Structure 1
Amino acid sequence: MKIAGNVPSSFVGEGGPRRSFCIALKVELVAEARAAGINVAQAAESGLAAAVAARRKELWLAENATALQSSNTYVEQNGLPLSKWTHRTTARGPSSSSDLTSRGSTRV
């Protein structure tokens, strides 16, 4: 199938196969995007990808709502699994100097 003369309707571009689509956009928005140096096709593809990802997330959460609620209820009633075998440290390491010295380490 051909469109717009000799331009094929399907082609392989960066990131996989591509196909041309005709969409209607607000004229003022496209003019402003072009004036700002924005690639309209890339922006449309990015926006569509974000919308698809958001919808997939929404559907996954709805599909798994019962399991998520069950897991949350378990943790509320019983605590986190394995929590008695783990310990917390701050992002900088053990929370106090006594933690360091108890392991045989010293501060430098």
Structure 2
Amino acid sequence: MRTRIVYARMKHDNLMSGKRKPLNVTIDTGIVQAARDAGLNLSKVSEAGLIEAIRHENERRWHEENHAALDSSNRWVERNGLPFAKHRPF
């Protein structure tokens, strides 16, 4: 008796809907040719680049929005030291 293993595709990324949308984009012809010569999938590489750009921008915005709180916390630690520092084994 053979056991069939089924792997469920898990959705780890909240950016990904699992649906595809065809788009028209304009990319320099030299880049397109180099990507094809390298055997790259333009859609997948473009998608990966967009995901990275989105994550970078979201991180930048988070730091911008939380800058004051982070600075305040850092100033407190500079004045008072780390909480429970005396209990740290290192």
TM-score by length of 2: 0.78
Q: Name segments (4+ residues, structure 1) moved above 3 Å.
A: none
Give per-residue Cα distances to partners, 1:54-106, cap 9 Å, x unaligned.
10001000000000000100111111111111111xxxxxxxxxxxxxxxxxx
C-alpha root-mean-square deviation of aligned residues, in Å? 1.4
Q: Tell me how far apart the structure 1 counterparts of residues 84 and 45 of structure 2 sit (CA, whole Å).
A: 45
Unaligned runs of 5+ in 1: 1-13, 89-108
Q: Match of 1:60, SS? A: helix
Q: Match of 1:18, SS? A: coil
Equivalent residue for 1:73?
75
- Looking at CA atoms only, which structure, 1 or 2, has the larger radius of gyration? 1
Q: Match of 1:23, SS? A: coil
**Structure with the higher fraction of residues in strand conformation:** 1
Task: Measure how far apart 1:15 and its partner are.
Answer: 6.3
TM-score by length of 1: 0.66
Q: Percent identity?
A: 36
Q: Match of 1:19, SS? A: coil
Task: Measure how far apart 1:17 and its partner are.
Answer: 1.4
Unaligned runs of 5+ in 2: 1-15
**Structure with the higher fraction of residues in helix conformation:** 2
- Structure with the bigger RCO (C-alpha within 8 Å, sep 6+) is 2
Equivalent residues in 2 for 1:1-108, closer than 5 Å: 16-88=18-90
